């Protein structure tokens, strides 16, 4: 079978698969639209999407899995950063980070761009020397003790002995009890 606008069936398949990745994921039902995104901090942006047709079981309880992605720029001349990614409010207080693929990007004036996992010791660029050094502290975490147990704040924390800069590329999979209402906002 061939369509007039395509030279062959293979070309038709290639044209369909060649569409942008978000469209292809949505057609397959892998990722839905973001739950909610708003925000005001230009150095910190994020979204949270339900991963369709993907659940996990923890302690005999079934959970829906959401993908929280974002970028945190640490570029002001500071030695410590605390950047709020956003707030995940659920009808259930049980939320767990089940996968963390976040990384840190920094530019070294000698070696070029570096990428390391988000952890204490992640490489960041010292503003004075221009070289990369290990961070004293670097993490992406959640806290539900700030306000109420059903509100989970996700944030990035980083520190070093002198002013530095880096980019944290956040990529988390977050499990929320199946059937819970979920609202994500970047405040």
Tens-digit pLDDT profile for residues 79-108 = 999 998 988 889 987 889 999 999 999 998
For residue 9, give both structure tokens.
Answer: 């069936």
Average pLDDT over residues 104-124: 92
User: Does residue 130 sit in the same domain as residue 111?
Assistant: yes
pLDDT given at position 6: 46
Highest mean pLDDT among 84-93, 104-113, 171-180: 171-180
User: Does residue 65 sit in the same domain as residue 156?
Assistant: yes
Given CA atoms 26, 117, 132, 153 in this order, what sign does their dihedral have? Answer: positive
User: Does residue 149 sit in the same domain as residue 178?
Assistant: yes
User: Does residue 73 sit in the same domain as residue 88?
Assistant: yes
Q: What is the pTM of this model?
A: 0.75
Tokens 């047709």 correspond to what residue? 53
For residue 113, how far is the Cα from the chain centroid? 20
CB-CB neighbours of 147 under 10 Å: 12
User: Does residue 8 sit in the same domain as residue 87?
Assistant: no
User: Does residue 44 sit in the same domain as residue 63?
Assistant: yes
User: Does residue 18 sit in the same domain as residue 44?
Assistant: no
pLDDT given at position 39: 52
Q: What is the domain extent for residue 83?
A: 35-185
User: Does residue 44 sit in the same domain as residue 135?
Assistant: yes
Instruction: Give the C-alpha separation, 161 to 163, whole Å.
Output: 7
pLDDT band at 13 (very low <50, low <70, confident <90, very high): very low
User: Does residue 9 sit in the same domain as residue 98?
Assistant: no
Q: CB–CB of 33/180 below 8 Å?
A: no
What is the domain count for the chain? 2
User: Does residue 43 sit in the same domain as residue 105?
Assistant: yes
Q: What percent of the chain has pLDDT over 70?
A: 75
User: In terms of residues, how long is the chain?
Assistant: 187
Average pLDDT over residues 152-163: 93
Does 135 have pLDDT greater than 90?
yes
């Amino acid at each position: 079978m061939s369509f007039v606008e395509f030279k062959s069936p293979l070309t038709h398949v290639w044209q369909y698969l060649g569409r942008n990745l978000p469209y292809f994921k949505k057609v397959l039902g892998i990722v839905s639209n973001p739950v909610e995104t708003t925000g005001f901090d230009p150095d910190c942006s994020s979204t949270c999407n339900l991963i369709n047709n993907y659940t996990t079981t923890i302690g005999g309880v079934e959970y829906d899995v959401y993908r929280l992605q974002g970028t945190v720029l640490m570029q002001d001349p500071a030695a410590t950063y605390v950047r709020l990614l956003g707030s995940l409010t659920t009808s259930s207080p049980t939320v767990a980070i089940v996968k963390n693929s976040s990384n840190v990007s920094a530019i070294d004036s000698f070696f070029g761009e570096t990428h390391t996992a988000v952890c204490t010791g992640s490489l960041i660029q010292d503003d004075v020397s221009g070289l990369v050094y290990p961070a004293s502290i670097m993490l992406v975490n959640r806290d539900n003790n700030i306000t109420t147990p059903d509100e989970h704040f996700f944030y990035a924390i980083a520190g070093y002995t002198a002013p530095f800069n880096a980019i944290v590329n956040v990529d988390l999979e977050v499990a929320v009890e199946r059937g819970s209402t979920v609202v994500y906002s970047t405040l």
